[in-house]
Amino acid sequence: MTQEIAVLSTKPEMAVESPAVRKVFVKTYGCQMNVYDSDRMTDALAKDGYVSTDVIEDADLVLLNTCHIREKAAEKVYSALGRLRDLKKKKASEGREMMIGVAGCVAQAEGDEILRRAPAVDLVIGPQTYHRLPEALKRVQRGERVLETDYAVEDKFEHLPAPDKAKTRARGVTAFLTVQEGCDKFCTFCVVPYTRGSEVSRPVAQIVAEAQKLVDAGVREITLLGQNVNAWHGAGPDDEKWGLGELLHRLTKIEGLARLRYTTSHPRDMDDSLIAAHRDLKQLMPYLHLPIQSGSNRILKAMNRRHTTAEYIALIARIKAARPDLALSGDFIVGFPGETDEDFEDTLRLVETVGYAQAFSFKYSTRPGTPGADLEDQVPEDVKAKRLERLQALLLSQQNAFAQACIGKTIDLLLEKPGRMPGQLIGRSPWLQSVNVDAKSSQIGDIVSVRITGAGPNSLFAEVVS
């Protein structure tokens, strides 16, 4: 995902007036936290006169914000770096300099290797040190190759500037807000505890201030982010212990904030107050991403998920009792080491039992440095591929059935952005589906009542009801 288009004046006198304008092209891979981070890095650079561009050839700085979760994700970075090396050479022959920076989880995990394998890279910066980016670039301009991957002792969020009003508005009426970073769960397949470090929660006041700023700039829906968002904890005004449920309560007090979501949550951290928030807060959307990864207790144990399928099913029953219209989403991994046909059948059975409105599924990818990489009994690629195909067919049929069941319903739709056809807008249903509807662009940011009239493969169609 690239950043928003730079709004640059083409007037020649402007170029003379602001010779310091430099352009940054940011390419974001991976999860929503990287999307949030890319915006924060762009904001940090704005202070030094950088504006975003979506034309890579125009960029003075190209930043790749990378993901290390699966092998394919990491490989993408090296092939992108190959292309960038050629572009850098071409631009140098035209007398223009282009800096290349690698940020994100690959930077954190393989910083030294990036510098070794990709000599064109000027800067490697890990997710915990983004607030040092402007300073690091100055060092690059002095001729250094910079590796900045130590965990910072200071709170980066306190040093990262919040976006200004105009920028926030340009980014739209929905926004991400990271409230928690890192993970202490150490699932045996996962790199996140190593790339993002241990669990840290941002303080309540910092989160509320950022949310208020977003809302003041016109944001209507905020999605709270964390690798383990429901492990968030903090202190309330009288120093009482707060969990995510209490934080959500506090955020609903912000006038004009119409919708709240959070992702990604771990089943072990769904506490009573968070479940009650689903019952009590009308702003909290009835949609929950609650991954289980496998339907086999044997595999869950080997993955170190530390709960059983029965506990997961019972938990979902409790959440649905609190919020009956709640739709579920999940993540699955097929072919974890030692997964037998029987284990995989258990996963299919679990999916049948739970029923997902949406889900993401992946072939297990061996990640260096994780305990899973050392396990014997790695599952052959062709077996993983066949299992993934079967699982995805089942999940897709559930997704389609969920969409079909929406037809005829009247729902609230948050109008987000122009649609593909003139006169059309795209909005989000409470269950995170894209919905196309005829509406005026002046209505962006409004929540309107619509009746669902049809369902396509990736989105719904609706008409406004008066």
Q: What do you get for the CA distance between the two ends of the chain, in Å?
A: 36
- Among residues 129, 195, 201, 436, the one that binds ligand F3S under rule CB under 6 A: 195
Out of 23, 40, 196, 384, which residue is the one contacting ligand F3S (CB under 6 A)?
Answer: 196
67 annotated ligand binder: yes
Binding mask 87-116 for ligand F3S (x = CB under 6 A): -----------------xx-----------
Binding mask of the shown chain, residues 346 to 385, with x at each position contacting ligand SAH by CB under 6 A: ----------------x-xx-x------------------
Q: How far is CA 70 from the centre of its chain?
A: 15
> What type of residue sits at position 30?
G
Question: Which region, judged by CB under 6 A, interacts with ligand F3S, from 168-176, 187-195, 228-236, 364-372?
Answer: 187-195
- At residue 287, φ and ψ (nearest 5 deg) are -145, 130
Sole window of 67-75, 95-103, 147-155, 298-306 interacting with ligand F3S (rule: CB under 6 A): 67-75
Should residue 311 be labelled a site residue for ligand SAH when binding is judged by CB under 6 A? no
Helix (H) or strand (E) holding 341: helix 341-354
Structure tokens at 448: 């309107």
Of 184, 172, 317, 329, nearest in space to 263 by CA: 329
Amino acid identity, position 179:
V
User: Which of ligand SAH, ligand SF4, ligand F3S, none is residue 193 near (CB under 5 to 8 Å by kind)?
Assistant: ligand SF4
Structure tokens at 114: 């990036």
Q: Is residue 190 part of the contact set for ligand SF4 (CB under 6 A)?
A: yes
Sequence-separated (6 or more) residues with CB below 8 Å from residue 348: 295, 390, 391, 394
- We find the least distance from the C-beta atom of residue 188 to ligand SF4, in angstroms, to be 8
Of the pair 67, 204, the CB lying nearest ligand F3S is at 67
Say whether residue 220 binds ligand SAH (CB under 6 A): no
Cβ contact 7:34 at 8 Å: no
| Residue among 193, 226, 286, 335 that touches ligand SF4 (CB under 6 A) | 193
Name the DSSP class of 177: E
Asked if 227 is part of the footprint of ligand F3S (rule: CB under 6 A), the reply reads: yes
- Among 250, 271, 387, 255, which residue's Cα sits nearest to residue 318? 271
Residues in contact with ligand F3S by CB under 6 A are 30-31, 33-34, 67-69, 104-105, 191-192, 195-196, 227
